[in-house]
Amino acid sequence: MELRVLGCSGGEAEGHRLTGLLVDGVVAIDAGSLTQALTLEEQVGIRQIFITHSHLDHICTLPFYTKNIFGHTDVPVEIHALPETLDALRRHLFNDEIWPDFSVIPSPDNPIIRFSEIEPGRVYEVEGLRVTPVPVNHLVPTVGYLVEDGRSAFAFTSDTAETDRIYAAANAAPDLRLFITECSFPNAQDWLADASKHLTPRKLARELAKLRRDVPVGIYHLTPGDRAVMLPELEALGDPRVRLLEQDARFTW
């Protein structure tokens, strides 16, 4: 499996792209940076997109992406997400006001993108991968994903406050190579993490006690302006598994 980190920042600025992962060049997870990180050719190569939740930093490049691939692919790209997330995409983004509804263009029978509802806990077999959505704990209905190919696996929690099921799924995955989770705010903003259902380094430490695997833990979703404060706080956790997930990193297992 090849995992490419398109973006892993909790805010956008030069050098800090929003959330997106690409697996084997064909399956994307979240769409915060598809159009900034990928060439047009690479964008056309994507066949499936799994969205974790409706927040803007995870979906914002979908409109420009759909326009880019229009006319360059005959098969609709599947957008997999929870029903609540798809509902938000239809009502607030692809609503013909903010952006055309590309799920019925050029025709309802043969659109450029097709929305596909996912059910937490079910396994989706696509492009030689097994993708399992696992509910996490965020402001809106949100899933993380366990992605496996029979030889290697990684888990991605997406945005979440304290949660259990994705740790159980990761602990049970035989070929786990990487666990990606979030840390959004410094310890001093505990209240903000509570209000927005995110983690601080202190909260993260309690979460990581649930991960009974000796694999690298890639931290993502730092707020760019708070990195200088957060890096020493993450260092102080003293957990040798913890490292920052780096934009443009590639993992091959």
Chain residues that interact with Zn ion, rule: CB under 5 A: 55, 57, 159
Please say which residue, 48 or 158, places its beta carbon nearer to Zn ion.
158
Alpha helices, H only, the chain: 34-37, 40-44, 62-69, 83-92, 165-172, 190-196, 201-208, 227-235
Smallest separation, CB 7 to Zn ion (Å): 10
Please say which residue, 55 or 203, places its beta carbon nearer to Zn ion.
55
Could you give the CA distance from residue 109 to residue 111 in angstroms, rounded to a whole number?
6
Could you give the CA distance from residue 53 to residue 144 in angstroms, rounded to a whole number?
9
Could you give the CA distance from residue 42 to residue 83 in angstroms, rounded to a whole number?
28
Smallest separation, CB 180 to Zn ion (Å): 13
Smallest separation, CB 151 to Zn ion (Å): 30
List all residues 6 or more positions away from 190 whose beta carbon is below 8 Å from its beta carbon.
200, 202, 203
CB 219 within 8 A of CB 234: yes
Smallest separation, CB 136 to Zn ion (Å): 10
Smallest separation, CB 31 to Zn ion (Å): 12
List all residues 6 or more positions away from 97 whose beta carbon is below 8 Å from its beta carbon.
none
Could you give the CA distance from residue 150 to residue 141 in angstroms, rounded to a whole number?
28
Could you give the CA distance from residue 70 to residue 43 in angstroms, rounded to a whole number?
11
Please say which residue, 159 or 226, places its beta carbon nearer to Zn ion.
159
Smallest separation, CB 99 to Zn ion (Å): 20
List all residues 6 or more positions away from 175 whose beta carbon is below 8 Å from its beta carbon.
148, 150, 151, 152, 153, 253
Please say which residue, 152 or 200, places its beta carbon nearer to Zn ion.
200
Please say which residue, 43 or 184, places its beta carbon nearer to Zn ion.
184
Please say which residue, 57 or 233, places its beta carbon nearer to Zn ion.
57
Could you give the CA distance from residue 43 to residue 41 in angstroms, rounded to a whole number?
5
Smallest separation, CB 234 to Zn ion (Å): 18
Please say which residue, 57 or 226, places its beta carbon nearer to Zn ion.
57
SS3 (DSSP) at 4 = strand
